[in-house]
Amino acid sequence: MFSVIIPTLWKSKYIHTSISQLEEHPEVGEIILIDNSTELKELNNAKICHIRERKNTYVNPAWNKGVRLSKYENLCILNDDLTFDTKILDWIKPHMDLGIIGMNVANYDKWRTEFNPIIEKMEGRDWGWGCLFFIKKDKWINIPDDLLIACGDDWLLKHIDAYKISGLPLQYEQVSRTSILPEFFSLQLTDIQNFQKYK
């Protein structure tokens, strides 16, 4: 079974599609929704663990928290601004012991529709790699507290054998829809500077 971890500020229309598809998949045991908004939303489904933070705790701390709370060993970490063919959950289970598995840049080509997954060792980081990734809970290494919205996936890549999946078409509105907002620019720059000291 998978625990799916989704931090959200409710800025993307795709989050509702993703939640619906994941709820229906038999391999999804729980959806841990880290709600970083101040809105009061009610979600009623046995699979959803709705964590209402009532303030923005930011994405990297949300990932750490979601992993701590997860009940299942297989983890799927998902941005709220994209959705994917959930058949990948069945396909990826035999590969979960490899390390941490993310996306290939080609998966964001909106013309691609074929489900034809291929997994390979990563040589250099692909753009969009960390928007959807899979990892075993016991391989997770907590992201430092001074990295809030950027470089969380870079931190994980620094410590864990990394792979990428090609052939998984992703639907998305705008990748990193929330983190590209102007109010987050200075935080991202601070995260990048903080990450340098870990290199």
Which own/partner pairs from 106-115 qualify as long-range (CB within 8 Å, at least 24 positions apart)? 106/166, 107/165, 107/166, 107/167, 107/168, 107/169, 107/170, 108/170, 108/172, 108/175, 109/169, 110/171, 112/169, 113/169, 114/167, 114/169, 115/85, 115/87, 115/88, 115/167, 115/168, 115/169
Model-level pTM? 0.93
Going by pLDDT thresholds of 50, 70 and 90, the confidence category of residue 75 is very high
Please state the rounded mean pLDDT for residues 76-86: 95
Model pLDDT for residues 176-189, shown as the tens digit of each residue: 555 566 777 889 99
What's the pLDDT score for residue 100?
97
In this structure, whether the domain defined by 2-196 belongs to CATH 3.10.580.10 is answered with: no
* Domain spans, the chain: 2-196
The amino acid occupying position 175 is: V
Instruction: Answer yes or no: are the C-beta atoms of 136 and 160 closer than 8 Å.
Output: no
Kindly report the average pLDDT of the chain as a whole number. 92
Model pLDDT for residues 11-61, shown as the tens digit of each residue: 888 899 999 999 999 999 999 999 999 887 778 788 999 999 999 999 999
